[in-house]
Amino acid sequence: MMERFTKPFTQQEPIPEEGIAAALEVLRHGRLHRYNTLGDEVAETALLEEEFAAFTGARYCLAVASGGYALGCALRAAGVGPGDRVLTNGFTLAPVPGAIAAIGAEPGFVEVTDNLTVDLDDLARKVGQGAKALLLSHMRGHICDMDRLMAICDAAGIPVIEDCAHTMGGAWRGVPSGRHGLVGCYSTQTYKHMNSGEGGLLVSDDPQVMARAILLSGSYMLYARHRAAPPPEAFERVRYETPNVSGRMDNLRAAILRPQLAALPRQIERWNALYRTMEAGLQDTPGLQLTVRPAAEAIVGSSFQFLLPDWQACAVETFLARAAARGVELKWFGAAEPQGFTSRHDSWRYAPAQSLPQTDRILAGLIDMRLPLTFTPEDVALIARILRAEVLTVAQSGAEAPVITRSAD
């Protein structure tokens, strides 16, 4: 009998009981706004910022309304403005170039490698072409050689802002993701590593950048109520010239997140067990190429990607349909039209059209899936068996067979 998977790919675990209790307390007293406190009460949002700063090893942290807001706020705080050129990965999600375009800057795309990280050779060529900053996307949790990347950007004198939406808790050579560049940005949207529906966090060691970010987020003159913040003198220099672009996190979301932060190391272990199970199940599948994860990279395996290199589009579509019929929900970054959360650089028409032949080749065969913690290792082993069988079936199907010109890695 043909095996079939029956669990949804979008179902998250429930909020921890400690988070539910903390949220109820906030709801009962009604002080949801982060600056609405009584006496010497410390807001849940301020406590979350302190705890996340400690988790990442950063001096300062700011909690905001979304990961996308965090990116735009970081760019503004770093001095990026209208007309500036900001580099980013050719393979990422729309909020990344969207954050650049939303402040009037121009996205410039850098090629990516078969391992889904930014191509450092292409970056080295493009940093000297008038770039004001690099908004680096650790897309789908893949971290490049951050030592070499920082050397390239430092030599060119351009700041690095890290989009860590998919790498909260990850690291490169022991340095937490988000701690190499000027600012690290994180998301707490439902499908990320902590779930508050929407939400975001910024970290930095730069007092002027963080002072501007706090003012931008809508602190008014209440910045002294932040605990993971620069000293008051950092605000004196910028408080009259920094616009208020309100995007604060509220105490309800912070209350939900604090217990999740405490549990995050254990959750990462569970994600990585799922990831390694999938990796083992798909290893050596003819026509399927796995990404290589360097030993220096500490991953958070909350999603899984593989390539169908040199497959014809009709063969990829057949494979996706057959997998879906057996209950396995996949995303394809090579589709001609954007679907759901999935799009590619030529769909982002608020950015100038750019030639990225290497990235286009990779996206044409790039398959993506979530690994939620509602799955067990046995679930993932079943998914891997289904995927392996369907890749082999389509590869042997004759008229719709893929063109395979190289062996799997």
**pLDDT score, position 398:** 53
Do 229 and 95 lie in one domain? The reply is yes
CATH of residue 346's domain is: 3.90.1150.10
**pLDDT score, position 336:** 87
Could you tell me the two tokens for 89?
Answer: 């990965």
Residue whose C-alpha is closest to residue 177's, from 149, 157, 197, 208:
149
pTM for the model: 0.95
Q: Tell me which residues of the chain have a pLDDT lower than 50.
A: 399-401, 403-409
Cβ-based neighbours of 338, under 8 Å, separated by 6 or more:
94, 344, 347
Is residue 3, in this structure, part of any structural domain at all?
no
Could you tell me the two tokens for 233?
Answer: 């003198």
Is residue 1, in this structure, part of any structural domain at all?
no
Do 217 and 252 lie in one domain? The reply is yes
Residue whose C-alpha is closest to residue 205's, from 171, 233, 230:
230
Contact 117, 143 (CB under 8 A): yes
Q: What is the mean pLDDT of the chain?
A: 95
Instruction: Kindly report, residue by residue over 151-192, the tens digit of the pLDDT.
Output: 999 999 999 999 999 999 999 999 999 999 999 999 999 999
* Domain span at 215: 17-259
Is residue 328, in this structure, part of any structural domain at all?
yes
Do 286 and 237 lie in one domain? The reply is no
**pLDDT score, position 401:** 47
Burial 196-222 (b: 16+ CB within 10 A, else e): bebbbbbbbebbbbbbbbbbbbbbeee
Do 255 and 275 lie in one domain? The reply is no
Is residue 187, in this structure, part of any structural domain at all?
yes
Instruction: Kindly report, residue by residue over 335-354, the tens digit of the pLDDT.
Output: 988 888 899 999 999 999 99
Is residue 8, in this structure, part of any structural domain at all?
no
Number of domains in the chain: 2
Q: Which of 240, 259, 278 is the last residue of a domain?
A: 259
Contact 113, 142 (CB under 8 A): no
Q: Which of 203, 234, 259 is the last residue of a domain?
A: 259
**pLDDT score, position 407:** 34
Q: Which of 259, 294, 319 is the last residue of a domain?
A: 259
